[in-house]
Structures are given as C-alpha cells and as structure tokens.
Amino acid sequence: MRGDESLLDVLDHLISKGVVLDGEIVLGLADIDLVYVRLGALLAAADRALEPPAGEAAGASDRRRRPAGAAAASGRVPVAPLSTPAPAAGQMTPAPRVSLTTPDETSRSVMKLVLTLVELVRQLLERQAVRRVRERTLTPAEVERLGTALMRLEATIRDLAERHDLDPAELNLDLGPLGRLV
C-alpha cells in the first residue's frame, strides 16, 4: 500500500481486478478447537465475473444475468436472472433483495445480519462442543470452560439483540430453496 492509499482504495482495486482467496480457519472457544474451515473464494466486480444474457451489452443491465446452465465461452460464472419468477427445475432462484429507507431500518438490518452470523457460529460451536462431550474427547475442565463460554456468548447475543429492538428468534435468514440459515 502506498502512503496515500487507504484500505478502501486497495480493496476497490482488488475487486476491480479480481482476486482468488484460499484459506483455512479454525474456530474454537475457551482455547478448544471445534471447527476447521477450508475456504476458496473469488472476489470480483460483478461485471467482471458474471456473464450478461445473450444479445445484451455488457453494461446494459446489472440485475439480469444469463441463466444457470448457459455455457459462457468467456469462462465467466453464469447465474440465474434476478428478475424472473420461480425458476424451472435445476435453475438457481433469484437472490433476495433488501430495501432500506431510513437510517433506523439500516442500523437495525445491519445489526440483525451481524447477530445472525454470530448466532450461526455460536450454534455451530455449541453443536461441536456437544458432540465432543458425547464422544468424551474433552477433559472435565474443558467441558466446564466451553459451557461457561457458550452461556456468556449466548447472553451477549441476546443482550445485543434486545438493545437493537430485535427478537433473538428473528436472527435467521431465508436462503430460498436451501431453507433457513439457522
């Protein structure tokens, strides 16, 4: 990074050019490893990664793309159109859209998204901790540390949800045909 560039400038440049990310993450709680994640991702500007529908100029529509299954000679990723009704069997569904009109709605929606993702991780860690307890791969001290950490994490999520007028039961996302996130 040059001295006059911000992190935002660097991210904007990377997205404009496209970057492939490959990484590994170990999620743990109370110094106990519970989940191993290996990820690969492509981060790029949509107009660089998505193929426009046949016969349409590249910049003509940012919301519609060639349906899944349509071969793209350019090697770009085909996706389903976002403006069509229910897809035919085997096609992708339209991505959900959120319209935010007031600062309060924006703040609440961002907090709901953040807390939903934290709740997903919490539930995943909890399930792995329970599995480890059942399989007797933890010491009694580790079980105690995990239990305490999970209770504190759950209480923190509940407290933050209440502060932002969110019902903890609302912390979920509808993923269309994949079902609910949590």
Query: Token pair for residue 89?
Result: 């069997």
Instruction: Give me the number of domains the chain comprises.
Output: 1
Centre a 10 Å sphere on the Cβ of residue 49 and count the other Cβ atoms it contains.
16
Domain contains 8? no
Query: Token pair for residue 159?
Result: 């407290």
Which pLDDT band holds residue 97 (cuts at 50, 70, 90)?
low
Domain contains 162? yes
Domain contains 47? no
Domain contains 45? no
Least confident range from 74-78, 115-119, 157-161: namely 74-78
Domain contains 153? yes
Domain contains 82? no
Strand partners of residue 42: 20
Domain contains 126? yes
Q: Mean pLDDT over all residues of the chain?
A: 75
d(CA 70, CA 30): 48
Domain contains 111? yes
Please name the amino acid found at residue 45.
A
**pLDDT (tens digit, 9 = 90+) per residue, 100-131?**
566 667 888 888 888 988 888 888 889 989 99
Asked whether 50 and 65 are in contact (CB, 8 A), the reply is: yes
Q: Which residues form the domain of 152?
A: 13-40+99-178
Contacts 24+ apart (CB under 8 A), 162-170: 164/107, 164/108, 164/111, 164/112, 164/115, 165/108, 166/108, 166/111, 166/112, 166/115, 168/119, 170/112
The three state secondary structure string of 132-150 is HHHCCCCCHHHHHHHHHHH
Strands (E), the chain: 19-29, 32-43
Q: Does 80 score more than 50 pLDDT? A: no
Which pLDDT band holds residue 85 (cuts at 50, 70, 90)?
very low
